[in-house]
Chains A and B, each alone.
Chain A
Amino acid sequence: MKSNQRKAFAERNLLIILAVMAVYLTIATKGNFSSWDNITNLIRQSSINGVVAIGMTLIIITGGIDLSVGSIVGLSGMVYALLTSNRGDIQMTSSLAIILALGASALIGLANGVAVHKGKVPPFIATLGMMTLVRGIVMYSSSGRMISGLPMGFREFSVATMLGIPALAWTWIFLAIFMAFVLKYTMYGRNLYAIGSNIEAARLSGINIGSNLYKFYVTAGLFSGIAGLMLGTRMAAGVPTGGQGYELDAIASVVIGGASLSGGVGSIFGTALGALIIQTLRNGGNLLGVDPFIMQIIIGAIIILAVFFDQYLKGRKAG
């Protein structure tokens, strides 16, 4: 099968799965599922994980993994809250605080990249350590307390809408389209797939592995930072445990979206569909009154099945 067709095939499958789920849930909930309120709510709920998962997609395409994204989400929100809260010592303007929060997130991403490339620490270990380290920073800097009293405009962003669609969802949609374009049409994207599918061939093709890996990890950090700010607007506070466990949803979205953990394969659109599928499951389960613990079991099983299905298709091809 031709590769474009194969990719489109995988994405089409995901679309079909999503559509089947939507039809089933609409019938089962007597139309509640497809109400405008529920759909916008679903997209809003997907958007934060969706943004984190974009960064995760990049790292997984390189053949790595980033476990620190959840902690960076927490860090970014906390940096913003500490710098702007009207109950703290410092009170910066919102935009300066956003820049600093994103700067801190990018810096953590860079540190991941350096540990992986220069330090030759396996991505799993490097980012596992960074996950704990950054969470420690967040806890220490906030003394483990919620920081509220954030600027009004920042808090209002979470309820703002445009054309009836929440601003948070727009943020996700915009970033996803932007990154999908970057991956397809720029050197950045080409280098990403080249490094992910064959790092030695990439090096022999004149691609600078180090500087590119740094860029990818910085981007992943930035996206987590953006997600952290998005979470901040929803919570209207800096939450020390904010973003905890987000890495798992992000990895699940990327994997369901068809990326290969061995690198070289993955797409932003697939990941977005993966994020929507996970959220639709949660949302549908909620509407149907399924025990949330049972939902957890189902989602876990689906992650395994998604990869199993992918491997099965590959294996059949090879055989």
Chain B
Amino acid sequence: MSFGKEILRLDNINKSFPAVKALDQVNLSVRAGEVRGLVGENGAGKSTLIKVVTGAYIKDSGKMIFEDKEVSRNSPIISKELGIYAVYQDVMVAQDLSVAENFFLGNQPKKGPFIDWGKMHRESKKFLEEIEVDIDVKRSIKELSAAEGKMITIAKALWQNPKLVIFDEPTAVLTRNETKILFRIIKNLRGKGSAIIYISHNLEEVFDTCDTVTVLKDGAVVGTYATEELGSVEKLIPLMVGRTIEEMYYKKEVAIGQELLRVENLSGSRFQNITINVKAGEILGIFGLVGAGRTDIARAIFGADKFDKGKIIVNGKEISIRKPKDSLKSGVGYLPEDRRNQGTFAQQDIEFNVNAINLDKVMKAGILNYKKAYEQTKEYVDKLSIKIGSVYQKVSDLSGGNQQKVVIARWLCRNPDVLIFDEPTAGIDVGTKAEIYRLFNEILNQGKGIILISSYLPELIGLSDRILVISNGMVAGEVKKKDFSEEYLLTLAMKNIVSKEKIREAV
């Protein structure tokens, strides 16, 4: 394959966050006319890489070279001036302006002191006709559908004649037909000599669209391959996974007891016919790609969101769950994925946070006993070895790992029969992760059950007794411990996405 001159080169890029090394000596080179796929598991570093290129993040070290010139200082404005254009999952255009105005934003044609509306509309219309997008240029973006808005965002990329276009999961909201148009736009861009970086979970799509594909894993580049040489998606998956499972995922064998929670045919707006059961002493893992509906299912079971139909049975009794209070009472707990927005009361102290759902134990005749509240907090702070100055310290002053431990302390104190952990170790350092896994064992020892939702496969494989794979809001399969493998789980997770693609092709 022959491409043009090198557009973007990254040399040994490093980027760390307080707890994680997000990018580790990343090298990348993209040439004019090349469509480069970028794949990897959740948390492999794809988004971080893109943000470094667009200047949203500042790299720690390494060089970024754009068109033979080093970009030592980068920012979203600088990268735009260089000709780097990123299309994200959201519609990124001015909602209240018309399609034409969006194209000409900041560069409106003038007739004397006035805007030349005629010219603006004519040229925008001609441009859209060229790329065969049929949308009235006079309509404002908010009148368009999500997919049409997305098309305009993409068209605007083409309009600006960029040198490098980055697509981040561009097809998520597009219909089959619009996806076709997108691919045509990409071809058009390639023909004009732009370089393209294309990120998608849909590997089939990556294969169809890209000339080459770079695999990222744990922040490092595994390799860059020509899609023709790889030949098939199946060859790509082992490159994306295949990590050794460290000893930290140690789970003690606990005798599995009776069924604690049973969910039958639960259906809601983002999931259908979900059946789940958890027994005493067991960790049920739930795996799925981002947006597969894992969190939606957990929130419905906990009563945080409404569901359409289905049964929830706790300890053999069917219960009606309409709000979190109901599930709390019947012995189901939920640690939300989004700790900062849903878990902690950041401005309040640790005592307040730990006791948020445990006040009944420290109140008498409606009056709070601060001595007991202190003792109760201290007990769990010590148990979880949360490093703090005092239980009256504000939670916002703690590290992410300690904040998560405070939320876990809250639930350990409540001691529900089944505890749902939604991405409990996201953004948490390795040491604290190991401590959280140790706590899992303790919970299981008490004859409780755990549902563990995680995008991090080594964690799920290392700790779960069974793994339920959710794909596109449906159960794609339940995998027994002896059949655990990253390849198999990933294949299942993409099952309904791939088959939907096939259905679309058949139509």
A residues whose Cβ falls under 8 Å from a Cβ of B:
1-6, 184-187, 190, 193-194, 197-198, 200-208, 260, 264-265
Contacts and interface: CB of A to CB of B under 8 A. Distances in A.
B72 interface: no
In the complex, the 4 A-B pairs of residues with the closest C-beta atoms, listed nearest first: A206-B325, A3-B394, A197-B345, A264-B347
A299 to B, nearest CB: 28
Given A2-B349, A204-B343, 13 more contacts: A190-B368, A193-B345, A193-B348, A194-B345, A197-B347, A201-B342, A203-B304, A205-B324, A205-B328, A206-B323, A206-B325, A206-B357, A264-B348
A204 B367 contact: no
Interface stretch (B1-9, B31-39, B98-106, B385-393): B385-393
Interface string B337-373: 0000111111111001000110100010011101000
A19 B347 CA distance: 29
B357 A184 contact: no
B341 A200 contact: yes
B359 A190 contact: yes
Given A3-B348, A265-B347, A204 B324 contact: yes
A190 B370 CA distance: 12
Interface of B: 302, 304, 323-325, 328-329, 334, 336, 341-349, 352, 356-357, 359, 363, 366-368, 370, 389-390, 392-394, 397
A257 to B, nearest CB: 16
B343 to A, nearest CB: 6
A203 B342 CA distance: 9
Contacts of B368: 184-186, 190
A197 B394 CA distance: 12
A198 B346 contact: yes
Contacts of A208: 323, 325
Given A197-B345, A198-B344, A205-B324, A187 B357 contact: no
A126 to B, nearest CB: 24
29 contacts: A2-B394, A3-B347, A3-B394, A5-B392, A6-B394, A184-B368, A186-B366, A187-B363, A190-B352, A190-B356, A194-B352, A194-B356, A198-B346, A200-B341, A201-B336, A201-B341, A201-B356, A203-B304, A203-B323, A204-B324, A204-B343, A205-B356, A205-B357, A206-B328, A207-B325, A208-B323, A208-B325, A260-B347, A264-B345
Contacts of A203: 304, 323-324
Nearest to B345: A197
A203 B303 CA distance: 10
B392 A2 contact: yes
Interface majority SS (helix, strand, loop, mixed), chain B? mixed
Nearest to A204: B324
A3 B393 contact: yes
B392 A4 contact: yes
Given A203-B324, A204-B302, A2 B341 contact: no
B392 A204 contact: no
B341 A198 contact: yes
Given A2-B389, A186-B368, A206-B324, A197 B357 contact: no
B170 to A, nearest CB: 30
B366 A201 contact: no
Interface majority SS (helix, strand, loop, mixed), chain A? helix
B407 to A, nearest CB: 9
Given A185-B367, A193-B352, A194-B356, A204 B345 contact: no
B208 to A, nearest CB: 40
Contacts of B304: 203-204
A187 B359 contact: yes
B392 A201 contact: no
Most chain A C-beta atoms within 10 Å of own C-beta, residue among B324, B328, B347: B347
A33 to B, nearest CB: 37
A204 B329 CA distance: 13
Contacts of B324: 203-206
Contacts of A206: 323-325, 328-329, 357
A205 B353 CA distance: 10
A190 B342 CA distance: 17
Given A3-B393, A3-B394, A198-B341, A204 B336 contact: yes
A214 to B, nearest CB: 16
Contacts of A2: 349, 389-390, 392-394
Contact of B349 (A4, A185, A186, A207): A4
A65 B352 CA distance: 24
A117 to B, nearest CB: 14
A316 to B, nearest CB: 14
Contacts of B334: 204
B366 A187 contact: yes
Nearest to B302: A204
A200 B345 CA distance: 10
Contacts of A205: 324, 328, 356-357
A286 to B, nearest CB: 38
Contacts of B366: 186-187
Nearest to B389: A2
Nearest to A196: B347
B501 to A, nearest CB: 35
Given A3-B349, A186-B368, A204 B359 contact: no
Nearest to B388: A2
Contacts of A264: 345, 347-348
B357 A201 contact: no
